Structure 1
Amino acid sequence: MLQITSLIRFSSRSAATLMLFAGLALVCPCVMAVDKGYTIPLIDLAQETHRQVVVDREKGQYLGHPTTVLLEDNQTMICVYPKGHGKGAIVMKRSTDGGKTWSDRLPTPANWATSRETPTIHRVVDAEGKKRLILWSGLYPARLAVSEDDGLTWTGIEPVGDWGGVVVMGFVEPLKTGKGHYLAMFHDDGRFIRAEGAKTPIFTLYKTLSTDGGLTWSAPEAVWQGSDIHLCEPGCIRSPDGKQLAVL
């Protein structure tokens, strides 16, 4: 089992720089021997500049929280991120060579500038095989943008219901219950799940479902609640046999 740093961001006084690692490999000569009471190897890629690609830089502006989607050609990638720490206008860039080079900032719908939380981007396919990209923007209300031409054009971000959450969505996972069926999850601490919400010591993980290829989503249902630990920003992997989902 390897812990690999695959995405970094950092800032300085003069500029913020958004960087991605390209062409990651599992075999690396820079395994660190760190005595922290466990034996999982740690690999530090920070000094391997040949793996790093500068995606964006703007003097005096924090740039971070990028999410990407890789299209079926295994070359085209779309990256979205906010101009700010979570809250800020959504920026979009495109790569056609697997992340080695990136376009300039691309035109986006005007109301993407109103995003209040980190955007996330996902591939979805409906029951008829229509491919879409969807982009989420969180807090209340959770909002969604849709592209039906692989990210060339987009709708504005529009509310999906009378609910919201922090960093909507953590993941969007296809289900085996039917074509075009998806599960998505996010978390909230009481502030954004509904209008006029208030912060509580309880963190809740929510799930929401789509049966129409990601266009509409069900009212959220609580999957887990607790105050002893703050589980947040869930991710998901499927077991090798496809029968189980592990949420991390």
Structure 2
Amino acid sequence: MEQIQEIVELVGGVLGHDVVGTYLHGSSVLGGLRPASDVDVLVVSRRRMDEQERRTLLGGLLRISGSRNKIRPVELTVVVQSEVRPWRYPPTGDFLYGEWLRAEYEAGAVPQPEPMPDLALLITMTLAGDRPLTGPRPAQVLDAVPQADLVRASVAGIPGLLDDLDGDTRNVLLTFARIWTTLATGRIESKDAAADWVLARLPPEHRPVLEHSRQLYLTCSYSEESWSDALRAQVRPHVDHVLTEIDRLLARAPRT
């Protein structure tokens, strides 16, 4: 895939020999890319980037990511190996690019090091997917994440997801389905597989909105998302039910 090669070349041009490895995760390794899927890449580096390197990497990603460039959105995370090996929670990420932050980047923001609980999920997917683009296999450079920390990372984003519920309904509902699935099974599934798992456990009145989200995910781009008034009215009751199930599992989850 030409876009992936461009990402690899961009990262290599910025970090050079300090790239330990570059790895696919997300939809690419969990059942395959869907019409609205990001290309998810984790970069493991030997050191933090300086400000000019951050700006160079950001500028390159703005050019090779997203629908305005008529190409898939890219989510690229850079982590310094010593920040996650040995593993500790919460992990620190060195750089995060995602299309949902494009407006901030274009207004002058530059990604900086910060705590990134999501790295627990990204690293788990990276290890399970085992898809190096450069460097050794991920198990040679990353530690496995304990189940307790996978649980903590899964639920850390719930407040932000609730804030996004109206504007990004499909993704939020599918992410809640994935959280429930991960807490119950210990696995990170693709969004459609997680939806299937949850649909089998939902009361009939709470299934339609998740069925609709799953179908949108499998067949439509972000710009094609549509919801009837009748379905919109069912979204919050569905979410409340799912959050109740998540809370029930959290009460039994292992603690660190």
Q: Does TM, scored on the shorter chain, surpass 0.5?
A: no
TM-score, scaled relative to structure 1: 0.30
> Which structure would you say has the larger RCO, counting Cα contacts within 8 Å and 6 or more residues apart?
2
The answer to which structure has the higher strand fraction is 1
